[in-house]
Amino acid sequence: MGADFGYRGERLGLPQEGPGSLVGTGRRIGALCVDGWLCSLVAYGMIAHGNQSSANLWSTPLFYTVTVLLLATTGTTVGKRLFGMRVVRLGGGRASIPQVLLRTLMLCLVVPALVWDRDGRGLHDKAVGTVEVRI
């Protein structure tokens, strides 16, 4: 109601544009779709050997495992890399393993990822003190 909140990420100490700035919702959803699609494809072709019901069973655990491994080691997944983004601690630096484990678990639960604050951070990011930034 007339209050100026500034740009997204200003209150977090992040730049308005360029590397280190907050990633928009479209990029985040796009990266999630790419990662989910790749995990579903692997589950369908390699794990379930073409059995659709078995592939559905393995898709989420595979997504969780791949996401945790990639975020803990590189700070990014295949989808995030394609969309030019990375998960970091709010103060800067790579997210710790416990942060990545909890963040990914909450992401797999879906609901925390659908609730955002005014900066566009989901509850899964707020709960563990991480943020998705441009690289």
Q: Is a pLDDT exceeding 60 seen at residue 2? A: no
* CA pair distance 32, 28, nearest whole angstrom: 6
Q: Is a pLDDT exceeding 90 seen at residue 76? A: yes
Nearest to 12 by CA among 124, 125, 111, 103: 125
- Percent of the chain's residues with pLDDT above 90: 62
Structure tokens that stand for 124 in this block: 């899964």
Q: Is a pLDDT exceeding 70 seen at residue 103? A: yes
